Amino acid sequence: MKEKIVFTEIKDIRTLIDPYRLKILRTFTTENEQLTAKMVADILEEVPSKVSYHIKKMEKTGILEIVNTKVINGIVAKYYSPTAKEFRVETLEEDDFKYLELNNIYSDIINDFKKSFIRATNNIKNPTVVLGKQVFLNEEQFSELSKIINDKILEFQDSGEGKDSYQAFFTLYGENDLKNIIKTNMTKL
């Protein structure tokens, strides 16, 4: 398993950032073991054929890989695992269409976490932390804070005995960057 894979092509980014596929990827992270499409479907309480379809797309993109096969009652069971501990999205070219697509993708992610958060707060057993703050940073501090947050999240990726699953959503962006993206996209509409 690689430490990190960076996706730059929009078709690969679409595959990675799809909310349903993120749910599948989180299942692998939570279970911390090789899983078949059927096992993932059982955990998610979904139809195996639907999960299998998405896993094949994720395999084709390089997000998941077959790590083991077993013949069970004459049927070949394929065991999958993520190809990296961390997946990143980066854009390398200044393409307005790409920014529009990424904004749509980011919007889907935010909506998915919003729905998850609302469902979770209906049955809270522990206080939930919600923090929204404006911070003032130079480029070096921005990079440093991004790294600290990312490293801390990666530190808690291993599931284990006595650990519960918690959803985390963090975003850090520059106000000027956001204004430019919004301005650019509004003129395109």
Q: Flag whether pLDDT at 23 surpasses 70.
A: yes
- What 3-state class would DSSP assign to 165? coil
List pLDDT tens digits, range 30-73: 888 899 999 999 999 999 999 999 999 999 999 999 999 999 88
pTM above 0.75?
Answer: no
Say what the pLDDT of residue 11 is: 85
Quickly tell me which residue has 């609302």 as its tokens. Answer: 118
List pLDDT tens digits, range 172-188: 777 666 544 444 333 33
Q: Return the closest-CA partner of residue 64 out of 28, 19, 88.
A: 28
Phi-psi region at 62: left, alpha or beta (left = phi > 0; alpha = psi -120 to 50): left
List pLDDT tens digits, range 114-141: 777 776 666 666 656 666 677 888 889 8
Say what the pLDDT of residue 104 is: 67
Q: Which CATH number fits domain 2-188: 3.90.25.10, 3.30.499.10, 1.10.10.10, 2.60.40.10?
A: 1.10.10.10
Say what the pLDDT of residue 114 is: 75
Say what the pLDDT of residue 112 is: 73
- Name the residue ranges covered by the structural domains of the chain: 2-188
Tokens of 186: 């509004």
Say what the pLDDT of residue 188 is: 33
